Amino acid sequence: MTNVKVNSVAKTYGSVPVLRDITTEFPEGSFTSLLGPSGSGKTTLLRIVAGFIKPDEGIVMIGNSDVTEVPVWGRNIGMMFQSYALFPHMTVEQNVAFGLERRGIKGVEAKKQANQALEMVHLPDFGKRYPKQLSGGQQQRVALARAMVIKPSVLLLDEPLSALDRRLRQEMQVELLRIQRESGLTTIFVTHDQEEALTLSDKIAILDKGRIVQIGEPGEVYEKPLTRFAAEFLGDSNFLKGKVEGGAVRLADGTVVRASGALPADGADVTLAVRPEKMSVVSSLEEASNSIRARITTVIYAGQALSYLLVTPGGLQLKLFAQNKDGRVLSEGEVVTLAWSPEHTIAVAE
């Protein structure tokens, strides 16, 4: 078992920088998601760790060895691809045994290990079939068995679940997590699905324009986003712009809002982020809360949850998420008071 480190890694295609000066560590046994929109560089970073792409600058360490110059086939990685990438002309068993044979394990022993791996993904007795005789979910399980059977140093997952339908995807998430926990493999998972990242990961790294804008535990990244991008990409956020004034923030319409954590010096411009589910509609104000009056413009009824779009007299657009608990649904045009705790009011960098 090994950790993975990247140090000052940069990659440019033509004149387009895809990764800029990435330094981070993926601790031993951790499950880290690289989360970002397309073009953020998350796949490039994964492929650099895998060895498919050579970084222009920086080094990649797997365990204690510098593998920057080592090609893919010398790195002992397990990789899963979005398209499964099973070899269509080989049986399931031959697919799984492929990596074993490259390591000099052949014949009966390779067969035994391949079948053990297939048992691990709950597909015993599937060895003699061809990939195209399997469903998408089964193919993905075979791909996982094939990646795990070689006892890799790291497991690299390139959006492996995005081609599956919702129910199967959730099933595979559980499976993936179970196998990752049992094996204790350091895992790097590329995804653009924030829910998947939150459910699976020990750590989430949010990438934007070739940089890691924030990395941390899911709860930490969600509750304390550092930048506007992080607040917006992982979950949803309301943004309140204002000026710092005596340890609080005065918004454009004059409302004074208190925030948690450090604020810049008085007079500086600042953006505050508030999660839509942290706000609630109140009838009487508590002393400690932030509050603002707003009119409901749109009601979105989604069964278990409700979302509202609101606008303040000052023209600020807000979102509010509420549980459909007491059966009370607010209606369009109603003017309400929204309150939320200063603790959930986070200053973010633009």
Half-sphere exposure of 319 (CA within 13 A, CB side): 15
Q: Collapsing DSSP states into helix, strand and coil, what is residue 295? A: strand
For another protein, how many residues bind (rule: CB under 8 A)? 27
| Element at 240 (helix H, strand E) | strand 238-245
Q: How far is the CB of 316 from another protein (least distance, A)?
A: 47
Given a contact cutoff of 8 angstroms between Cβ atoms, the answer to whether 2 and 28 are in contact is yes
Binding residues among 276-305 for another protein as defined by CB under 8 A: none
Asked if residues 149 and 110 have their Cβ atoms less than 8 Å apart, the reply is no
| DSSP assignments along 100-148, one per residue | HHHTT--HHHHHHHHHHHHHHTT-TT-TTS-GGGS-HHHHHHHHHHHHH
Q: Any contact of residue 52 with another protein (CB under 8 A)?
A: yes
Q: Are 276 and 305 in contact (CB under 8 A)?
A: no
Shortest separation between residue 50's beta carbon and another protein, angstroms? 7
Told to check if 160 binds another protein by CB under 8 A, we report no
Stretch that binds another protein, among 24-32, 65-73, 178-186, 311-319 (CB under 8 A): 65-73
**Is 183 strand, coil or helix?**
helix
Paired residues of 250 in beta bridges: 243, 256
The two structure tokens encoding residue 90: 């080989």
Of 103 and 122, CB closest to another protein = 103
Q: Do β-strands 186-191 and 31-35 pair in parallel, antiparallel, or remain unpaired? A: parallel
Taking CB under 8 A as the criterion, the residue among 8, 23, 65, 83 binding another protein is: 83
Determine, following the binding rule CB under 8 A, whether residue 222 of this chain makes contact with another protein. Answer: no
Q: How far apart are CA 10 and CA 330, in angstroms?
A: 51
- Give me the least distance between CB of 113 and another protein, in Å please: 13
Is 244 among the residues that bind another protein (CB under 8 A)? no
Amino acid at 209: K
Asked if 169 is part of the footprint of another protein (rule: CB under 8 A), the reply reads no
H or E element, residue 6: strand 4-13
Query: In Å, how far are 51, 77, 152 from 99, measured between CA atoms?
Result: 17, 10, 10
Query: Quick one: tokens of 317?
Result: 């657009």
| Residue 239 contacts another protein per CB under 8 A | no
Instruction: Return the residue of 73, 107, 283, 286 that touches another protein, per CB under 8 A.
Output: 73
Segment interacting with another protein (CB under 8 A) among 69-77, 112-120, 206-214, 228-236: 69-77
Position among 36, 55, 99, 225 found at the interface with another protein (CB under 8 A): 99
> Residues 147, 188: contact at Cβ < 8 Å?
no
Measured from the CB atom, is 49 or 346 closer to another protein? 49
Instruction: Give the shortest CB-87-to-another protein separation in angstroms.
Output: 6
Contact call for residue 141 and another protein (CB under 8 A): no
Residue 102 in the binding site for another protein (CB under 8 A): yes
Instruction: Provide the mask over 2-41, with x wherever binding to another protein is found by CB under 8 A and - wherever it is not.
Output: ----------------------------------------
Quote the least distance from Cβ 138 to another protein, whole Å.
13
Whichever of 77 and 123 has its CB closer to another protein, that residue is 77
Tokens of 66: 């510098």
Q: Which residue in 34, 48, 49, 79 binds another protein (CB under 8 A)?
A: 79
Contacting residues toward another protein, per CB under 8 A: 50, 52, 71-73, 76-79, 81, 83, 85-89, 98-99, 102-103, 131-132, 136, 146-147, 150, 156
